[in-house]
Structure 1
Amino acid sequence: SPEAFLNSEIFRDIYFNPKFQSRLSLVVVDEAHMVNVWGLVASGESKGLASHLKHMERGCFRPGYGGMGGRLMATNGTPLLMMSATCRPIAIKKILESLKLTENMVEFVRAKLTRPEIRMLRINMEYSLASSEDLAGLYSTQEQTPNSKIIPTLIYSTTRNLTRQVLHVLNCARESNQEGDASRTFSRRYHSVTGDLDKADVTGDFTKGVFPVVSSTMALGLGQNWKRVRSVIHIGQGDPASICQILGRCGRDGKKCLAIMLVEAHRKNGKNSVSDFTNVEFQNDNDRMDALAITPVCLQVAYLVDN
């Protein structure tokens, strides 16, 4: 993990041991776009970006990761392989700067990011983000539709507090009377502060089909490859690259699936119509976040262009 890579004295002693270095043939960085995210924090650039704060657990609490470059480069010429499904040109530029690399030192292998099996819907929210009440309309009562008939779904919120509110809304909609029950049979929550044993229970029971819905932050899913997930719901605004990663967690088996974006109808201090975008040559992350909520372009195309 990046934590061990940067902070573990034991791993550092092994990593820089001449015998280890002599046998090291390749260093791989998966989810390489996160190097840019952490770099924004370390450099202070994230302070002015509302898009960065929309996903509480994306990395804003780990500022040391902006310094990964020095450690990655201290390998006596060992090849470095960086992989990501969502990495815009500007993010690639920032990553190369962080790693002290130039483009002529890197060989790029690019492929189209197409997931035709995902049906994407963007829905304007009628209620506030804090209430998460828009979710209630997606689920009928337990008597009408038993848990066994609910498709496996991941519901992503932008903060840990909202994951609890989502459970409350779902409990009321289902009329299940399981509020506060850690072993509830419809939905449970997952975030970075969830205890290790609870995390194992949630992921294990969800995989086994014990319950169909997980309410979570971005702490869930990075590196996961659940083939049973049929639907992903994201509530609120967020960085388009991060949302693209989230929505891509459904339909991993290649079968038809549904991705839903619940967006705020009016974004305070944001751009709320196409005409608000006056500088078409440059868009910062806040602009991209607002554009995703209103673009008339097919969402599949929008994500493809963005990445």
Structure 2
Amino acid sequence: MQDQLMNAWNKMIGKLGEWLDAIVINLPNIIIAILVFIIVIILSRYTSKIMLKLLQKTKLQHSMKRVIAKISSMLIIALGMFLILGILNLSKALNTILAGAGVLGLAVGLALQGALSNTYSGIILSYIKTLKFGDWIKSNDYEGEVMDINLRAVTIKQADNNLVYIPNKLVLENPIVNYSTTSQSRVILDCGVGYSSDLKFVEKITREAITTNFKAVEKTGDIIFLYKEFGGSSINFELRFWIDSTSAIEVARAKSKAIVCIKQAFDNNDINIPFPIRTLDFPKNFMTPLNNQNDS
């Protein structure tokens, strides 16, 4: 038993000696490989910055510029790793890596279908010129300002400042409403007036209230006023006008301001905005049987 242990010990010492000799022999190559690795890391960072500067002159979206810069940086690192393996005389290991890359790529592709789909969708979204940072959009029942488009998700900031991260695949596969494609947004307001009101006078007062309080309407005079229906307690109408903003919060503020202006104008001209009421109509002789019963 002792002889076997000594034999194993001697073999281990011999093996360590061989490794030490190999390290000493390849020490210059190791030093060069370390220097090449450091240079590659530095070069990849500068490549990313240089690519961003060069792409600033193009019409690509900012998100796409960052994607291209990251890919160029990763390519520099990949080339550097192949160069380091060659310096260390690990060509056989390089061949093994290349041979296994196909199988590994297939396995990774199957395991990361969702992530790869979002990555591909992110690249496609970066090419869409009608979707860019600062746009106010609605997608997948979420509405807000586009803050970021990366390889995983589209980040939007809602009117209450909450951030929503929508996977790129869902954004690409579902309809997108972009409120920022024009410089204006339309405000839609519903209201009603009493049946005794002069409808032409109501329309005139409403138009004047909006025109005098909104600059965009004052310039164009573009107001749509439509009576919609005979309601249960009022004649209802719909009012539409434009404002110089594409933000949903500004649309909400404009609607609030319009309600105040219209209410004040109606009060000044004795125009009634009725609340829902129910009128009970009894027959003329409805109480007669009851009165006769009390008399008896």
Q: Which has the higher contact order (CA 8 A, sep 6+)?
A: 1
TM-score scaled to structure 1, two decimals? 0.20
Which protein is richer in helix relative to its size? 2
Which protein is richer in strand relative to its size? 2
* Larger radius of gyration between Structure 1 and Structure 2: 2
TM-score scaled to structure 2, two decimals? 0.21
